[in-house]
């Protein structure tokens, strides 16, 4: 029995308070499905949407969220749609009990994936970093630096990189994130960007003087995009993934030319890659820890993300 009303986190305009309130359950069109949401990861993108950080209009009022693990009879997920209908951005997302998804774009979660809370972050964060690692063209045995390694995308990037046979150099801040990266995510070394005196020198020193073969920049701040071009190894690749407000990825032309480095962007992934990313999870190779909170706690979670206090990913439990 589908109710008429449901609980959701809504904001009327960017930056205005989030309201946990009852709204109507949406009615799907013929090419859509209505899905019941069990868990939704909180991605930094949701915070960017609420703050209006990007040069892309946010639909308002908005129900945010796009890392939903859903339950429409069989397990499915709504994915960022290729037609610019961005869940939790230009259309209502997963911070509600019942969401609409395009029937063509729901990704089937393999039945072996029993832990729906843990699988939710794979559907944006996991997919995104898996694709970024592919784009980096590194091969097993090489070293990849992950900047923002202690956050949501970063913690999954460490795990995917390990599963692909790469050595991981983690960059982030705080003792909690150091412990997470080294002891739970399998990074070989950790550099604290907030306390290091010379990040370029430290990264090079940690990689035998040459620098990592690739850098995956998932940090939600501008500085590391420029730093990565300086410490990446000659012929290396910098993959830009984080989307900080108004940021530029700058590189010194002389350095870029003489080191023959490659700087590129990577944006989520397609449906086939979603299945590939889920496959790693299904095989038990991705064990990045999650913190489960309730849908009501979203405002506090945003505050903690902003303050860089969350190690790993928060997943919200949506009421039955």
**Residues found near ligand 8ID in the complex (CB under 6 A):** 43-45, 48, 124, 128, 147-148, 150-154, 171-173, 193, 218-221, 223-224, 241-244, 266-268, 305, 308, 310
Given Zn ion, ligand 8ID, none, residue 152, with its beta carbon under 5 to 8 Å by kind, binds ligand 8ID
By C-beta, is 46 or 172 nearer to Zn ion? 46
Q: Tell me if 60 sits within 8 A of 91, measured CB to CB.
A: no
Tokens of 68: 């939903």
Interactions with Zn ion, residue window 122-141 (CB under 5 A)? 124
Tokens of 44: 């930094």
Token pair 């590939």 in the structure block, residue: 276
> What CA–CA distance (Å, rounded) separates 112 from 75?
11
**All residues at 6 or more sequence positions from 163 whose CB lies less than 8 Å from its CB, including other chains:** 280, 285, 286
Question: Is 94 a residue that touches Zn ion (CB under 5 A)?
Answer: no
Question: Residues 5-44: x/- map of binding to Zn ion (CB under 5 A)?
Answer: --------------------------------------x-
To the nearest whole angstrom, how small is the minimum distance from the Cβ of residue 4 to ligand 8ID? 33
Distances (CA, A) of 76 to 20, 37, 119, 123, 267: 25, 10, 11, 10, 21
Secondary structure string (H, E, C) spanning 231-243: HCCCCCEEEECCC
> What CA–CA distance (Å, rounded) separates 229 from 240?
11
Interactions with Zn ion, residue window 64-93 (CB under 5 A)? none
CA 196 and chain centroid, separation? 25
By C-beta, is 45 or 189 nearer to Zn ion? 45
Q: What is the CA radius of gyration of the chain?
A: 19
Given ligand 8ID, Zn ion, none, residue 220, with its beta carbon under 5 to 8 Å by kind, binds ligand 8ID
Q: Tell me if 150 sits within 8 A of 312, measured CB to CB.
A: yes
By C-beta, is 6 or 135 nearer to ligand 8ID? 135
By C-beta, is 96 or 128 nearer to ligand 8ID? 128
Question: Is 45 a residue that touches Zn ion (CB under 5 A)?
Answer: yes
Number of H helices, E strands in the chain: 10, 16
Given ligand 8ID, Zn ion, none, residue 143, with its beta carbon under 5 to 8 Å by kind, binds none
Position closest to ligand 8ID via CB: 151
By C-beta, is 64 or 152 nearer to ligand 8ID? 152
**Residues at the contact surface with Zn ion, assessed by CB under 5 A:** 43, 45, 124
């Amino acid at each position: 029995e589908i109710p008429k009303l449901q609980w959701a986190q809504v904001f009327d305009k960017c930056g205005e308070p989030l309201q946990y309130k009852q709204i109507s359950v949406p009615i799907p069109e013929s090419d859509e499905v209505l899905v019941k949401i069990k868990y939704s990861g909180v991605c930094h993108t949701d915070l960017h949407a609420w703050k209006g950080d990007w040069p892309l209009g946010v639909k308002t009022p908005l129900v945010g969220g796009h890392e939903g693990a859903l339950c429409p009879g069989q397990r499915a997920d709504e994915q960022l749609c290729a037609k610019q209908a961005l869940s939790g951005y230009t259309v209502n997302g997963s911070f509600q009990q019942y969401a609409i998804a395009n029937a063509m774009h729901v990704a089937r979660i393999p039945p072996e994936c029993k832990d729906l809370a843990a699988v939710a972050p794979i559907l944006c964060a996991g997919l995104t970093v898996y694709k970024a690692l592919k784009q980096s063209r590194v091969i097993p045995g090489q070293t990849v630096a992950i900047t923002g390694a202690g956050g949501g995308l970063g913690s999954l990037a460490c795990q995917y990189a390990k599963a692909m046979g790469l050595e991981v150099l983690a960059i982030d801040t705080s003792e909690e994130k150091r412990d997470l990266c080294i002891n739970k995510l399998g990074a070989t070394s950790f550099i604290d960007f907030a306390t290091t005196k010379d990040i370029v020198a430290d990264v090079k020193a940690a990689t035998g003087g040459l620098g990592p073969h690739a850098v995956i920049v998932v940090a939600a701040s501008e500085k590391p995009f420029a730093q990565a071009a300086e410490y990446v190894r000659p012929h290396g690749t910098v993959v830009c993934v984080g989307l900080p407000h108004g940021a530029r990825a700058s590189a010194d032309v002389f350095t870029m030319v003489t080191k023959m480095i490659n700087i590129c962007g990577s944006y989520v992934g397609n449906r086939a890659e979603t299945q590939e990313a889920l496959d790693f999870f299904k095989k038990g190779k991705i064990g990045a820890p999650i913190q489960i909170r309730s849908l009501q706690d979203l405002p506090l979670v945003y505050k903690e993300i902003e303050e860089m206090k969350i190690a790993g990913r928060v997943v919200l439990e949506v009421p039955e």
